[in-house]
C-alpha cells in the first residue's frame, strides 16, 4: 500500500487518477496536484462518483518551482510521483524527487520551452544521482513512448534471436467531429509533428523534411491510412537498448484535412514559439493557439472509432527470417465511458498507472533512470490486458514496410 502523487490535471491525469483509484490495494492514498486547482477538484469529483477509493486529495502546485514541489511532497509524503503534466517540467520534478527521496515516472521526455527539441540526454544525465539515492525513475511510460518499448522488449525476449528492422505504427482512426483539434496538449503535439522527420539506419540518424515520406498502411479493424514518417522519442532509447537494430522508424497517420489545417497554421506563423509583441504584451503564438483550439480533454463525448498502435518487426529467429506485428486497438467511446477521456489520453494513462503499480509492488525495480524496455515486459503486458488495453500479435505478418 503506497501513497502516490499525480502531477497534471489534463486528459492523461484524468485517466491516471481514475485507474489508480480502481486499485486502492496498491495506491492507498492519491494526491492529484496541478497548476489549476479547480481542474484537480473536477477530476477528483468524477473519480469519487466512479470509485470507492477512500483517500483522494487535491492540491495546487507549480511544477516548475522546485521549492514548491518539495514542500508539497514533504507534506504528503508519497512513494512515487506520476508526472503527467508537460515535458517542460520533467527536470524540476526529477530534482524534487531526489531532494525528497521519491520515485519518479513520466510519459514524455524533457523539452526546453524555447527550443522545439526533445531528447533523453537531459534526463539520462540524472542516472547516477538516482542510482546513488536508491531511487527509480521510469521514463516514457505512456503508449508511445511506453507500450511500444515494452512491445519491442517482448519481441526481443520471446520472438527473436536478433531484431533488425523496427517500425512503430501509430494510427488514430477516430473521428471527434471537430474541424481541427489535437488529441493531446496542442502545444506539445504541434511542436512534435512539425519538426523534421528522422529515422535510424545503419548506425546513423537520417533526417527528412516534415511529412516528406508517406506510406499507405493497413491497420487492424480500421483499414488503410496514409502514414507519415516522423521522429519520435522512443527511437533514441530503443536503438541504444537493442543494438542489433539496423533500422528503426516511426509512422503516424494524418488525414488530408488535418494536414491542410496544419499547413495554414504554420504558414501564418501560429505554430511559432518565439514571443511576439501584441498590444504591449509578449505572447507566444503557439501558446495562444492552444487557448483557442478545442481542449483535447473535451473531445471524448462524441469521439467514435479506434486507435491502433503497434510495432512491426523483422529479424532472425532460429536462423531464419521472421516477421512479427504486435498491437493494441483502443475504442475512444469505451475509454470515454470508463474515464470521461478519449482514447489517446486513455492509452497514455493506463500504461502510466501500470508502470507505477509494477514499481510500487516491486515487480519492476532498480536504482537509476530507465526507459521502459529495460524492465521485464511480461508482468506489464499481462496487466495491460487486464486493465483495458488488450494486445494482439501476429507471427509471419505482412509488415507492408520494405
Ligand atoms: N507517451 C505517450 O503515449 C503520450 C501520449 C499523449 C500525451 N503524452 C504526454 O502526457 C502529458 C499530458 O498530456 P495531456 O494531453 O493530459 O495534456 P493537457 O491536457 O494539456 O494537461 C497538462 C496538465 O498539466 C498542467 N500543467 C502545465 N504546466 C504546469 C505546471 N507548471 N505545474 C503544474 N501543472 C502544470 C496543466 O495545467 P493547466 O490546466 O493549468 O494548464 C494541465 O492540467 C504531456 O506531457 C504529453 O506529452 C504522452
Question: Could you tell me if 290 and 154 lie in one domain?
Answer: yes
CATH code for position 318: 3.30.360.10
Question: Could you tell me if 107 and 226 lie in one domain?
Answer: no
Q: Is residue 381 part of a domain?
A: no
Question: Could you tell me if 16 and 116 lie in one domain?
Answer: yes
**Does 95 contact ligand 1 (Cβ within 6 A)?**
no
Mean pLDDT, the chain, as a whole number? 95
> What is the total count of domains within the chain?
2
Q: Is residue 211 part of a domain?
A: yes
Q: Is residue 366 part of a domain?
A: no
pLDDT, one tens digit per residue, over 100-148 is: 999 999 999 999 988 878 899 999 999 999 999 999 999 999 999 999 9
How much is the pTM?
A: 0.96
Question: Could you tell me if 186 and 103 lie in one domain?
Answer: no
pLDDT score at 393? 98
**Does 287 contact ligand 1 (Cβ within 6 A)?**
no
Q: Is residue 19 part of a domain?
A: yes
Q: Is residue 195 part of a domain?
A: yes
**Does 340 contact ligand 1 (Cβ within 6 A)?**
no
Q: Measuring from atom 39 of ligand 1, which residue has the nearest CA?
A: 36
pLDDT, one tens digit per residue, over 58-90 is: 999 999 999 999 999 999 999 999 999 999 999
**Does 360 contact ligand 1 (Cβ within 6 A)?**
no
Q: Is residue 332 part of a domain?
A: yes
Among residues 139, 169, 194, the one where a domain terminates is 139
| Long-range contacts, 374-380 (Cβ 8 Å, 24+) | 374/153, 374/241, 375/138, 375/150, 375/153, 376/153, 377/150, 377/151, 377/153, 377/154, 377/157, 378/154, 378/157, 380/150, 380/351, 380/354, 380/355
pLDDT, one tens digit per residue, over 10-20 is: 999 999 999 99
Could you list the beta-strand ranges (E) of 173-305.
Answer: 197-201, 204-208, 214-219, 223-230, 247-253, 276-278, 281-283
Question: Could you tell me if 327 and 212 lie in one domain?
Answer: yes
Question: Could you tell me if 102 and 176 lie in one domain?
Answer: no
pLDDT, one tens digit per residue, over 154-211 is: 999 999 999 999 999 999 999 998 989 988 888 888 888 888 999 999 999 999 999 9
**Does 35 contact ligand 1 (Cβ within 6 A)?**
yes
| Residue 198, domain extent | 147-339
Question: Could you tell me if 51 and 132 lie in one domain?
Answer: yes
pLDDT score at 185? 84
Cα 267 versus chain centre, distance: 28
pLDDT score at 189? 86
Question: Could you tell me if 102 and 171 lie in one domain?
Answer: no
Question: Could you tell me if 131 and 179 lie in one domain?
Answer: no
Q: Is residue 352 part of a domain?
A: no
pLDDT, one tens digit per residue, over 263-301 is: 899 899 998 989 999 999 999 999 999 999 998 878 888
Question: Could you tell me if 73 and 171 lie in one domain?
Answer: no
pLDDT score at 283? 94
Amino acid at each position: 500500500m503506497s501513497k502516490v502523487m499525480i502531477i497534471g490535471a489534463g486528459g492523461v491525469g484524468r485517466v491516471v487518477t481514475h485507474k489508480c483509484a480502481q486499485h486502492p490495494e496498491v495506491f492507498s492514498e492519491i494526491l492529484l496536484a496541478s497548476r489549476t486547482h479547480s481542474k484537480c477538484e473536477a477530476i477528483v469529483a468524477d473519480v469519487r462518483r466512479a470509485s470507492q477509493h477512500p483517500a483522494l486529495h487535491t492540491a495546487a502546485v507549480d511544477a516548475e518551482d522546485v521549492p514548491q514541489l518539495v514542500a508539497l511532497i514533504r507534506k504528503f509524503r508519497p512513494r512515487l510521483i506520476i508526472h503527467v503534466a508537460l515535458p517542460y517540467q520533467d527536470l524540476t520534478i526529477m530534482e524534487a524527487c531526489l531532494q525528497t527521496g521519491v520515485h519518479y515516472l513520466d510519459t514524455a521526455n524533457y523539452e526546453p520551452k524555447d527550443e522545439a527539441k526533445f531528447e533523453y540526454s537531459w534526463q539520462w544525465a540524472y542516472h547516477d544521482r538516482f542510482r546513488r539515492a536508491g531511487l527509480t525513475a521510469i521514463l516514457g511510460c505512456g503508449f508511445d513512448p511506453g507500450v511500444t518499448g515494452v512491445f519491442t522488449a517482448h519481441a526481443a525476449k520471446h520472438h527473436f534471436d536478433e531484431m533488425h528492422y523496427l517500425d512503430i505504427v501509430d494510427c488514430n482512426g477516430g473521428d471527434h467531429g471537430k474541424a481541427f483539434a489535437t488529441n493531446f496538449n496542442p502545444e506539445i503535439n504541434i511542436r512534435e509533428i512539425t519538426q523534421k522527420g528522422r529515422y535510424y539506419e545503419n548506425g546513423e540518424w537520417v533526417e527528412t523534411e516534415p511529412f516528406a515520406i508517406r506510406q499507405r498502411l493497413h491497420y487492424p479493424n480500421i483499414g488503410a491510412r496514409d502514414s507519415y514518417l516522423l521522429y519520435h522519442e522512443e527511437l533514441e532509447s530503443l536503438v541504444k537498448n537493442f543494438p542489433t537494430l539496423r533500422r528503426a522508424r516511426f509512422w503516424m497517420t494524418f488525414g488530408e484535412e488535418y494536414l491542410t489545417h496544419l499547413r495554414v497554421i504554420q504558414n501564418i506563423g501560429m505554430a511559432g514559439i518565439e514571443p511576439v509583441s501584441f498590444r504591449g504584451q509578449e505572447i507566444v503564438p503557439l501558446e495562444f493557439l492552444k487557448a483557442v483550439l478545442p481542449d483535447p480533454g473535451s473531445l471524448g463525448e462524441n469521439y467514435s472509432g479506434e486507435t491502433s498502435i503497434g510495432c512491426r518487426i523483422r529479424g532472425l529467429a532460429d536462423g531464419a527470417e521472421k516477421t512479427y506485428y504486435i498491437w493494441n486497438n483502443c475504442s475512444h467511446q469505451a475509454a470515454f465511458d470508463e474515464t470521461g477521456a478519449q482514447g489517446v489520453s486513455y492509452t497514455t494513462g493506463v500504461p502510466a498507472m501500470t508502470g507505477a503499480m509494477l514499481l510500487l509492488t516491486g515487480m519492476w525495480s532498480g536504482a537509476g533512470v530507465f526507459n521502459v524496455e529495460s524492465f521485464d515486459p511480461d508482468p506489464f503486458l499481462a496487466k495491460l490486458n487486464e486493465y483495458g488495453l488488450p494486445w494482439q500479435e501476429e507471427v509471419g505478418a505482412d509488415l507492408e514496410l520494405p
